[in-house]
Chains A and B, each alone.
Chain A
Amino acid sequence: MEPCTRLRAVRGALFMFAMTAFGFASADTTTPTIRLFPTTVVEDLRQTSSVAQEMETGLQEVIGRLDQQQQLYLESKCDGAEDDPGCQRLAKQIGATYLDMLGIMEERLPDMEHTVNNTRLSLEKRLRSELGNKMTSWTLQETLLGGNPPKTASDSSPSLRGRSGMRLSERFKQYYKLVASSSSNSDQSLAVLASDIYLDMEETSTLIARTREEIARATLIEQLNQSFGTITPEMMEVVGGVKSILFGDETSNVVIAGPPPGSVEQAYRSPLEQ
C-alpha cells in the first residue's frame, strides 16, 4: 500500500469510528424517535461536498480564463467585426476554452451525479419509512412542534431551501455540518433539515442529468463553430448557467418576512387544548 493511500484509509477508518461513536453517544443521552440521518447519509453528504469542491477547483481556472478572453474580445471591439482576422483568432481561443470547460464537466459530472444520487436515495428511503409510513399527519405535526417553547421571530433559523446563492460545495459542507452536529438538534429540526436536503438533491440531480445531456450536444456544436471562429449567444448562456450553479447566484437570497413584534404575558392552557 502506498503511504498516501494508507493515510487516506486510516483517515476514513477514523472518520467512520468517530461517526459510530458519535451515534452511540447521542443514543445514550437522548433516545431518538426518528432516524433520518444514519452514518451512511452523513458520509454521502461529506463525499458530495468534496466531489463538488474538486469540480469547482477544476472549473474555476477555466471559467476565469473564459471571462478574461471575453473581456478582451469586447474591449477589442470585436462585436460586429467578426471578419477581422485578429477577432477571429480571439473567437477561436474562446471556443477552445469553452471546449475545455465542457471537457472538465463531462469528466467530473458522473462522479457528482453518483454521490448526489446516493444521498438522495438514502434520504428518500429514510423519509418514506420514518415520516411516510411510521407517522400520521398528527404525529408529524407533534414531531415538528417538538414540545419546544414557541420560537420568536428573532431566534428562528433561516430557511435552507434551494440554491441559496452559495457555492455547491459550500452548500453540501453546510448540510454535512448541520447533520453531523445533529445531537444538538431535535427531531423537529431534523425532519425539516432532511426534507430540505432531499428536495435540494432532487433538484440538483435533475439539473446534473440535464447538463450531462446538453454537454454532448454543446461539444459537437462548438467543434463545428471552431471551423468558423464565432461566439454564439448560447455559449455565453451555458457559461453563465454553469457559473450560477457552481458558484451561486447572489440575487437569489430570499428572506421570509416575520410577524409583527409582540409578546404574551403568560400562556393560558385550556382544558380543551390538544
Chain B
Amino acid sequence: MKMTSLLVVCATFVLASCASEPSCEGPQSRNLSTAVDQAKSSLANGCTAYFDSYYDTLLRTAEGDPKPENKRVFSEFLVWAADEGLLSQRQAKEYYNRYFNVKFMTLVSDYNNCSHTCPRRDRVLLDMERELSDKERGLLKVSLDNDGYYRADELFKEVELVLEATCTACAAGR
C-alpha cells in the first residue's frame, strides 16, 4: 500500500514538472517579424540557453527575404534582449556589430599593437576571416548592404597589410 502511494506521488511529480517545462522550439515562421516575436516569447519563457540557436534561425529566416530594413529588426531584437537582461550591453553590441557593422569586433583591444596584436597576429587574422564570413551573412545576405560588405572585405585586406608591415617594424626594433 505504502509502495503504491509512493509511486503515485512520484508519477504526479514527474508529470507536473513536465507540464511546467517551457517549450523551447524557437521561431518557426518564415516571416522575420513573426519569427522575432516567437523568439522573444520563447526567451521570455525561460529558454535563454537557446539564444544563439534562435539568433541563427532568425538570420536564416532573414536570408529568405533580404532587405536593408532587416538591420533595424535585428538591432531592435538585441536592444530588447539587453533591456530584458538576457544579454549584457556588451554582448548585444558584439552580436550586432559582428554581423551588421563594417568594423571588426575581433580587433577590440586595450593594448598597443607591438606588445599585444603582433605576438598573436595569425590568430587575429584567422578570427577576422571568420568574422568576415559572418559579415557576409549579415551585411550581404540579410541586409543587401553590398557596399558595407565590400568595405569590410577591403578593411580586412588593409589590416592584413598594415599589420604585416607594423609587426615587421616592431620585431626589427627589439
Asked if A263 lies at the interface with its beta carbon under 8 angstroms from chain B, I say yes
A157 CB to closest chain B CB, in angstroms? 11
Bound-state Cα–Cα, A236 to B155, Å: 42
Q: List 19 A-B contacts (CB under 8 A).
A: A123-B169, A128-B169, A136-B110, A136-B112, A136-B116, A138-B109, A140-B163, A141-B155, A145-B103, A150-B102, A161-B161, A191-B162, A192-B162, A195-B164, A256-B157, A265-B68, A268-B69, A272-B97, A273-B100
Residues of the A chain whose Cβ atoms lie less than 8 Å from the Cβ of B105: 274
Contact yes or no, A128 B102, CB < 8 A: no
Whole-angstrom CA separation of A141 from B96 in the bound complex: 18
* A interface residues (Cβ-Cβ under 8 A, vs B): 123-125, 127-128, 131-138, 140-142, 144-145, 150-153, 156, 161, 191-192, 194-196, 198-199, 202, 256, 258-268, 270-274
- Name A195's contact: one of B74, B75, B162, B172 (CB within 8 Å): B162
If A124-B172, A259-B149 touch, does A136 touch B165 (CB 8 Å cutoff)?
no
Inter-subunit contact B150/A152 (CB<8 Å): yes
CA distance A212 to B74 in the complex (A): 61
Closest A residue to B151 by beta carbon equals A150
Given contacts A128-B169, A270-B96, A272-B75, contact A264 B161 (CB under 8 A): no
Stretch from B2-10, B19-27, B51-59, B139-147 that touches the partner:
B139-147
Indicate if B40 sits at the interface (CB-CB under 8 A): no
Within 8 Å by CB of B107, from A131, A141, A161, A258, lies A141
Contacts of B153 in A (CB 8 A): 259
CB distance from A272 to the nearest CB of B (A): 4
A189's nearest neighbour on chain B, judged by CB, is: B158
Chain B residues engaging chain A, CB cutoff 8 angstroms: 68-69, 71-72, 74-75, 78-79, 92-93, 96-97, 100-105, 107-114, 116-118, 124, 140, 143-151, 153-155, 157-159, 161-170, 172-173
| A138 and B108 contact, CB distance less than 8 A | yes
A195 CB contacts on chain B under 8 angstroms: 161-162, 164-166
B160 shortest CB reach to chain A, Å = 10
Partner of A128 from B69, B114, B144 at Cβ < 8 Å: B114
Q: Are B93 and A272 in contact (CB under 8 A)?
A: yes
CB pair B168–A266 under 8 Å, yes or no, is no
Q: Which 8 A-B pairs give the minimum distances between C-beta atoms? A: A195-B165, A262-B146, A270-B75, A132-B114, A272-B96, A150-B151, A127-B169, A137-B107
Contact B113 A132, beta carbon cutoff 8 Å? yes
Q: How far is the CA of A36 from the CA of B152 in the complex (A)?
A: 24
Contact flag A144-B162 (CB < 8 Å), given A133-B114, A151-B151, A259-B150: yes
Complex contacts, B107 vs chain A, CB 8 Å? 137-138, 140-141
Contact partner, B112, options A123, A134, A153, A260, Cβ 8 Å = A134
CB neighbours of B124 from chain A (8 A): 137
Q: Residues of B contacting A202 with CB < 8 Å?
A: 168
Q: Are B96 and A128 in contact (CB under 8 A)?
A: no
Which residues of A lie under 8 Å from residue B96 when comparing CB positions? 270, 272-273
Cβ-neighbour of A274 out of B93, B111, B145, B149 (below 8 A): B93
Closest to A258 in B: B150
B145 neighbours in A (Cβ, 8 Å): 264, 267
How far is the CB of A147 from the nearest CB of chain B, in Å? 12
Task: Please measure, in the bound complex, the distance between the C-alpha atom of A133 and the C-alpha atom of B161, giving whole angstroms.
Answer: 17
Q: Which B residue's beta carbon lies closest to that of A130?
A: B166
Using CB atoms, name the residue of chain B closest to A202.
B168
Bound together, the chains give a CA A74 to CA B166 distance in angstroms of 49
**A68–B113 alpha-carbon span in the complex (Å):** 53
Q: Is B148 within 8 A of A150, CB to CB?
A: yes
